[in-house]
Chain A
Amino acid sequence: MSMPFYVSPEQLMKDRADFARKGIARGRSVAVIQYADGVLFASENPSQALHKVSEIYDRIAFAAVGRYNEFENLRIAGVRLADMRGYAYDRRDVTGRGLANAYAQTLGTIFSSGGEKPYEVEIFVAEVGDSPADDQIYRLTYQGQVTDEHQYAVMGGADEVVATYLKEHYTENASLSDALHVAVAALGRSSEDGNGGAGDRVIPAGDLEVAVLDRTRTQPRKFLRLMPARLEALLGDRGPTTPAAPETAATPESEIDPTDLPEDPASE
């Protein structure tokens, strides 16, 4: 009979967290910004079919980074949960808080259960209210931690760089166009230096995935995707654009080299 190696719980959790963080850091960032009429999501995503930002319910949207198959499962679960609650009770009874709690429980359980690998995802759940003060943005990490974000938040690959830029340039109650400019410029940043680095890029409108929860929409469903044509009109002339470096574009962020997988001490 072989003796299992002893691994301290601290080490076990740290290994799992490192594993998840590594997976998440591979992807490109998603930024979320509050503006005068609601909440704006922006990310660099050349695919028009595989979305990082999606609608969950009337006032609730979802954004994620990390492994596509994992956050897609969570998104579908969220849509089902929201639709079922709205059908059983009323549309007003579907809240972002309830959804964030369900996600937190799910991610937390998966993270701390020994048998499964942790999800390599991070999620935003945002709900738009009747006024900017009522807007809510929740950030959920791979371990099921929930944080309440205000004004702006970033997750994914170069989140520090993007967040630094947003911190310096964010203004409250900005117009849609202003908020979009700030978010897109932040996503194209390459260094934390306030003056920008040599590698700063102007991301082409076709490579942007942008969506808003717009409280001024007359329909009950406040979610709206901004298509490239609309983005170009809003962004105006920004000079020559640079698509993402081909090697990053060619490697889907959700693909993980199997050799990168750490050996799971618990399964030995």
Chain B
Amino acid sequence: MVDSRLPASYMMPGTSSFADFLAGQAPDLLPARRTVPQGHAGDLVPHGTTIVAATFPGGVVMAGDRRATMGNIIAQRDIEKVFPADEYSCVGIAGSAGLAVELVRLFQTELEHYEKIEGMTLSLDGKANRLAGLIRSNLGMAMQGLAVVPLFAGYDLAAGQGRIFSYDVTGGRYEETAFYSVGSGSLFARGSLKKLYRDDLSEDDCVTAVVQALYDAADDDSATGGPDLTRRIFPVVQVVTAEGGRRFADSEVAQIADAVIAGRMNRPDGPAAALT
């Protein structure tokens, strides 16, 4: 007799993890389950670059530039690398663009899946650990040049504050205070934020600070895209507060970016910090 019902594994209680379920049902859909031939594949794919995140009283801001590079070529000038992960968190990615976008999709589904099955959301630490697990399973590919390094940020409803987590390719998870940055331009962005960041910034000022940091990253790192004035392409900015996450509208970011550029017309290195 042909049994046309849903497979027994669908009805099995137990796991609330979508990735675990996929591993049993359709392992080929998991990015980490693919075997890549020996050799270095890093030069074959576009790479995403700089992501910056910073907290402010009441929430957290994450922003990413819009450039993907393949060696000396600009592979895409309007790629999006910052995504909402769920209502109260967002994730930005640096590294192999294709794998990273796939991993973000898996992570988004993972969080939503858990929420629907369990009837409640994971804690912010739970989400951060789950992302670490997904990154860890990608280690084999990372060693062949296809690394994905995310930056995770969210509003912790229990603690009442924005929090930022960084990762390494082995799935190491590190909580950062105040601000952090990943990707090729991250050193310049972090240096910039060191001088600009204050812990009493308003939401709009915090967005201005991360846009300044991305400008500084693009100024010194060829793989990070600066504001594209002719095409009006500006960073993707995601803000998460107690009310949930939202993406800054392009027009809002454009306004802030225009103000930053206007300031740089007078002083190309950006705002000067006090010496003492």
Contacts and interface: CB of A to CB of B under 8 A. Distances in A.
Task: Please say whether chains A and B are actual partners in one complex.
Answer: yes
Interface of A: 49, 51, 54-56, 72-74, 76-77, 79-81, 83-84, 86-88, 102, 105-106, 108-110, 113, 221
Interface in B14-53: 18, 21-22, 25-26, 29
Given A87-B106, A109-B3, A76 B13 contact: yes
B223 to A, nearest CB: 30
What 10 pairs between A and B have smallest CB-CB spacing?
A: A106-B5, A77-B10, A109-B5, A105-B4, A73-B11, A106-B6, A79-B116, A77-B11, A77-B6, A83-B113
B269 to A, nearest CB: 40
A121 B3 CA distance: 20
A79 B118 CA distance: 11
B109 A86 contact: yes
Contacts of B29: 84, 87-88
A64 B119 CA distance: 16
Q: Is the interface of A mostly helix, strand, loop or mixed?
A: helix
B5 A110 contact: yes
A2 to B, nearest CB: 26
Given A83-B112, A87-B29, A102 B6 contact: yes
Given A84-B25, A87-B109, A88-B26, A79 B117 contact: yes
B116 A55 contact: yes
Contact of A83 (B4, B18, B119): B18
- Most chain A CB atoms below 10 A, which of B3, B22, B29, B116: B116
B106 A84 contact: no
A77 B9 CA distance: 8
B11 A74 contact: yes
B3 A79 contact: no
Interface residues of B, number: 22
B105 interface: yes
Interface string B102-114: 0001100100110
Contact of B109 (A74, A83, A108): A83
A223 to B, nearest CB: 9
Contact of B119 (A51, A81, A87): A51
A163 B166 CA distance: 55
Q: Is the interface of B mostly helix, strand, loop or mixed?
A: helix
B60 to A, nearest CB: 20
Interface string B75-119: 000000000000000000000000000000110010011001101
A31 B113 CA distance: 26
A105 B29 CA distance: 25
A162 B118 CA distance: 31
Given A80-B21, A87-B29, A87-B109, 7 more contacts: A54-B116, A76-B10, A77-B6, A77-B11, A84-B21, A84-B29, A106-B6
B236 to A, nearest CB: 18
Contacts of A77: 6, 10-11
Contacts of B4: 105, 108-109
B113 A76 contact: no
- Most chain B CB atoms below 10 A, which of A55, A83, A108, A110: A83
B116 A81 contact: no
- Most chain B CB atoms below 10 A, which of A80, A84, A88: A80
B128 to A, nearest CB: 21
B271 to A, nearest CB: 36
B106 A73 contact: no
A81 B10 contact: yes
A153 B11 CA distance: 27
Contact of B22 (A76, A81, A84, A102): A84
Contacts of B109: 83, 86-87
B116 A73 contact: no
B65 to A, nearest CB: 26
A106 B26 CA distance: 20
A105 B4 CA distance: 6
B26 A81 contact: no
B6 A87 contact: no
Contacts of A113: 1
A86 B10 CA distance: 16
A144 to B, nearest CB: 9
Contacts of A88: 26, 29
Contacts of A86: 109
B116 A56 contact: yes
Contacts of A56: 116
A221 B109 CA distance: 13
A109 B4 CA distance: 7
Given A54-B116, A109-B5, A87 B105 contact: yes
Contacts of B22: 84, 87
21 contacts: A54-B119, A55-B116, A73-B13, A74-B11, A76-B10, A76-B11, A76-B13, A79-B113, A79-B117, A80-B18, A80-B21, A80-B113, A81-B10, A83-B18, A83-B109, A87-B22, A87-B105, A87-B109, A88-B29, A106-B5, A109-B3
